Amino acid sequence: MKTSILFLLSVLFVISVNAQSPTLYNASLEAVTVYRTSAELNHSIKVNLPAGSSDIIIGNIANAVDQNSIQLSAPVNVTILSTTFVKDYLKSENKSAAYIKVEDSLNTARKELNTIQNKKSVDENLLILLDKNQTVGGVNSGLSVAELIKMADYYKAKQLELRNSIYGYQVLEAKQQTKINKLQQQLNELSADKSGTRGQLLLQIITKEATTAVFNLSYLSPSASWIPFYDLRAENTSTPLKIVYKANVVQYTGIDWKKVKLSLSTGSPSQSGTAPLLSAWFLRFGSPNSYRTQSMQNTVQTMESRAPMKTAAMDVVSDPDRNLATPNNNALNTSFDLDIPYDILSNSKAHSVTLNTYNQPVNYKYYSVPKLENDAFLLAEITNYEKLNLLPGDANIIFENTYVGKSVVNPNATTDTLNLSMGRDKKIVIKREKVAEQSGTKLLGSTKKQTFTYEIRLRNGKNEAVNLLLKDQYPVSTDKAIEVELISADGAIINTETGVLTWKLTLKPGITEKVRISYSVKYPKNQRIENL
CB-based contacts of 261, cutoff 8 Å, min separation 6: 30, 31, 32, 337, 338, 341
In this model, does residue 314 exceed pLDDT 50? yes
CATH, residue 84: 2.60.120
Residue 114 to residues 144, 171, 320, 385, Cα–Cα distance (Å)? 44, 14, 59, 65
Higher per-residue pLDDT: 281 or 31:
31
Please tell me whether residues 114 and 175 are part of one structural domain. Answer: yes
Q: Which helix (H) or strand (E) holds 80?
A: strand 78-88
Q: Which of 390, 409, 426 is the last residue of a domain?
A: 426
Please tell me whether residues 343 and 460 are part of one structural domain. Answer: no
Q: What is the pLDDT of residues 136-168, one digit of tens each?
A: 444 455 667 777 787 777 878 888 888 888 999
In this model, does residue 172 exceed pLDDT 60? yes
Hey, is 7 helix, strand or coil? helix
CATH, residue 455: 2.60.40
Please tell me whether residues 397 and 514 are part of one structural domain. Answer: no
Quote the CA–CA distance of 300 and 306 in Å, as a whole number.
9
Please tell me whether residues 436 and 398 are part of one structural domain. Answer: no
Cβ-count burial of 2 within 10 angstroms (0-12 exposed, 13-18 middle, 19+ buried)?
A: exposed
The neighbour count for residue 261, using CB atoms within 10 Å, is 17
- Compute the half-sphere exposure of residue 93: CA atoms within 13 Å on the CB side of its CA: 13
Q: How many residues does the chain have?
A: 532
* Whole-number pLDDT of residue 91: 55
Please tell me whether residues 485 and 387 are part of one structural domain. Answer: no
- Compute the half-sphere exposure of residue 159: CA atoms within 13 Å on the CB side of its CA: 13
Please tell me whether residues 136 and 199 are part of one structural domain. Answer: no
CB-based contacts of 469, cutoff 8 Å, min separation 6: 303, 306, 307, 365, 366, 367, 368, 502, 503, 504, 505
Please tell me whether residues 449 and 314 are part of one structural domain. Answer: no
Residue 135 lies in a domain: yes
Please tell me whether residues 476 and 494 are part of one structural domain. Answer: yes
Residue 352 lies in a domain: yes
Quote the CA–CA distance of 240 and 312 in Å, as a whole number.
5
Angle at 15 between CA 9 and CA 20, to 5 degrees: 130
Please tell me whether residues 177 and 228 are part of one structural domain. Answer: no
Q: What is the pLDDT of residues 251-275, one digit of tens each?
A: 999 899 999 999 999 887 765 556 7
Per DSSP, what are the bridge partners of residue 205?
54, 80
Residue 373 lies in a domain: yes
Q: Which of 365, 397, 426 is the last residue of a domain?
A: 426
> How high does pLDDT run on average in the chain?
82
The neighbour count for residue 354, using CB atoms within 10 Å, is 15
Q: E-strand spans in 237-324?
A: 241-251, 257-265, 310-311, 317-318
Residue 12 lies in a domain: no
3-state secondary structure string across 84-96: EEEEECCCCCCCC
Dihedral sign (CA 16, 18, 21, 26): positive
Determine contact, residues 374/456, Cβ cutoff 8 Å.
no
**How many structural domains are present in the chain?**
4
Residue 285 lies in a domain: no
Residue 263 lies in a domain: yes
Residue 405 lies in a domain: yes
Please tell me whether residues 133 and 74 are part of one structural domain. Answer: no
CB-based contacts of 110, cutoff 8 Å, min separation 6: 180
Q: What share of the chain is helix, strand, coil (3-state, %, to 5)?
A: 20, 45, 35
Q: Which residues form the domain of 230?
A: 224-268+294-426
Determine contact, residues 87/199, Cβ cutoff 8 Å.
yes
Q: What is the pLDDT of residues 413-460, one digit of tens each?
A: 667 788 888 888 889 999 999 999 999 999 988 999 999 999 999 999
Please tell me whether residues 199 and 259 are part of one structural domain. Answer: no
Q: Which of 190, 213, 239 is the last residue of a domain?
A: 190
* Whole-number pLDDT of residue 333: 74
Please tell me whether residues 261 and 347 are part of one structural domain. Answer: yes
* Whole-number pLDDT of residue 315: 39
Quote the CA–CA distance of 294 and 94 in Å, as a whole number.
52
Residue 54 lies in a domain: yes
- The residue type found at 457 is R
* Whole-number pLDDT of residue 128: 84
